[in-house]
Structure 1
């Protein structure tokens, strides 16, 4: 196949549905995908609303958790953020908050990964409100606990007196979450820019780049990310300038590892920028799932 300009039919699938995802430049969670026909990823109103809900949910969950710990360890319930006399209502609230928080967090994570096209950017986007919520929830609980007599309560906590365990734990969790959260917030803009730039490059090469037919040659597994393998691969293709060989990384799932020698499409420009993807028209055969399933 020689040089050509390609235009794909609109495909509404998630970029991960088109795995494996290749990159000749990035590794691990930085590898970025863009489903054919999909618009470039960006932070949408839905993502912002989901992030706010995630922050509120984690704030409530850690606040209730700190209150439960306070009720169980403090010598006086007046120190606790929730003073109900009976801790069962707080336990029930904690269970409900935990379920809702898990649902909101998973939804935010999956939608961010689908919308941004990159696991690293999605992970940071999810972690920022999660850690902020933890810092605020535990911080409020600790502040309430020391509000009655700050100098004395702080002195007792530093001296590790019985009944101050929840204050110390809440303060430590709040401090760690705040510190980690600031690191995440500092890294997030760069991750969002990186994902957007990579998707822009993929779109540009699909529309304007030169397209060549290539062959995929599997290498060893570089590492596992969860249950999904990342492999070192080599792609060979021919052009009017001769034969070319490109080394790349391939992220996929155990059931979507193409057989060695599978057909791929290579998109490139005059600057040598490369994008690789499976040839959807080739009827790719995949390796047996058990061959690339992580050992327990």
Structure 2
């Protein structure tokens, strides 16, 4: 079942159109930076964007900072929100459950497909941005060393290791979004409604992060630690925000996946 879902996800044109759209904005930004040679002041704009003019190999990190606040979570919400609700809307969910599949097995297969999409999307964005950065913006140091956020120098090996960890971190952040969307997908029979419900939660979280009155809630909001991957490129690494982000998303995964399983395995399926 999992193999069938993965194959179906990879064969859907929607998957690749969504990934192409994710890569469109970073490409436009890279072209503009290369043509104008004008970047934001240090400390403003997406993370690492001010540094890519002198070192294009940092552009994968800047690209993640560009797509992470909005485009990547929306894409994940659309894919995960359609997982169960899309089958119900198309009238195929009941027939899937008539066959000897089982609701838990179907939910696990849909989750595996969603996880695969998140991994694929993050990896493609990073690889495409690396190529764009090298071609359009160049590399600062032939030895491959990179200046960290703290101003010290990181070797090429250290940079690769930290980048891999950052990609994994961003993936976990998006799995929290996927869990929320998958829960909504078991509640409604409309993939669009499931995606909109997820996006509404993320927008509400972002708004509350900007309110001083919501200080008590802010450490628990789903979007609070999304950009903490920047701390991986400090010297030494600041693990506090990263570990809190992982713990926060782990909690969202447990709660919303558990709720999705409880709801899906007990609800009446009429379509």
Specify the TM-score bucket, using the shorter chain as the normaliser. Answer: 0.3 to 0.5
State the TM-score, normalizing by the size of structure 2: 0.34
| Structure number having the greater strand percentage | 1
State the TM-score, normalizing by the size of structure 1: 0.32
| Structure number having the greater helix percentage | 2
